[in-house]
Amino acid sequence: MTHAALSDNPPSRKRRWIVASAVVLVLACAGGAAFLLTADEKPEAATPKTTPSTETTKAQPAKSGDRVIIPSLDVDAPMLPVGTTSEGAQEVPSSMEATGWWKDGSKPGQPGNAVIVGHTASKGDGVFDELGDLDKGDKITVSSGKKSLTYTVTKEQVLEVSKFATVADEIYRRTGPSGIVLMTCGDWNGTRFETTVIITAVLKVKAGNGNWSR
């Protein structure tokens, strides 16, 4: 875990995760994975019941330019593959600027949710620092090379960490409409983050050439 000084910039309109302090602990509520196997090739992992791990992992590098693009937040970030910790939580990438897709779950474009996590940092260098500013109707694109999938935000949620298990099955679902869930930490209390910021989006527009190939 790393430490970062507070930014002089005021918090954004929905940011609920900064508490005034000289130094704050930077935690990661991120996770990820890459599009390496088809659904039939990989074993089904247990659904994480806790918020993404605060311990980073050395994720595999992104392949073929896998990226998450959120125009309204000026986010255009690599998407790295991560898995599940021994405690059953989603891993997080070590880079503050990268996102992570849970490789043990659905891939973008498949039935169910592709779950993508990113870091929040007090000094403003976390990839998902502004995640709570997303509104319903905003667009999120996941791209891989010349292929891309665009999703529309349908739900914003800030949930107490202690209640995460009540929504875990829905977040990590592997059936139903194709969607993505983006998550990061929220509500820093000086010692730890108390909430998880959760953004849900559904697949609306397919761009590029053919089906997702990863």
Whole-model pTM: value is 0.72
The half-sphere exposure of 30 on its side-chain side, counting CA atoms within 13 A, is 34
Contact assessment for residue 81 and residue 32, using Cβ atoms and an 8 Å cutoff: yes
Contact assessment for residue 20 and residue 6, using Cβ atoms and an 8 Å cutoff: yes
Q: What is the pLDDT of residue 125?
A: 83
Torsion-angle region of 145 (φ positive above 0: left; ψ -120 to 50: alpha; else: beta): left
* Dihedral sign of CA atoms 105, 211, 182, 167 in order: negative
Contact assessment for residue 51 and residue 73, using Cβ atoms and an 8 Å cutoff: no
Q: Which residues contact 8 (CB under 8 A, 6 or more apart)?
A: none
Q: Give, for all 214 residues of the chain, the pLDDT tens digit.
A: 333 333 333 344 343 333 222 222 233 343 332 232 223 333 355 666 555 645 554 444 445 479 999 999 999 999 998 898 888 888 988 899 999 999 999 999 999 999 999 998 866 789 999 999 999 999 999 998 889 999 999 999 999 999 999 999 999 999 999 999 999 999 988 888 899 999 999 998 454 433 454 5
Query: Shortest CA distance to 15 belongs to which of 126, 172, 106?
Result: 126
Q: Which residues contact 202 (CB under 8 A, 6 or more apart)?
A: 151, 152, 154, 177, 178, 179
3-state SS class at 133 = helix
Q: What is the pLDDT of residue 54?
A: 52
Give the Cα separation of 135 and 114 in Å (integer): 19
Helix (H) or strand (E) holding 160: strand 147-160
**What residue has token string 């993508």?**
116
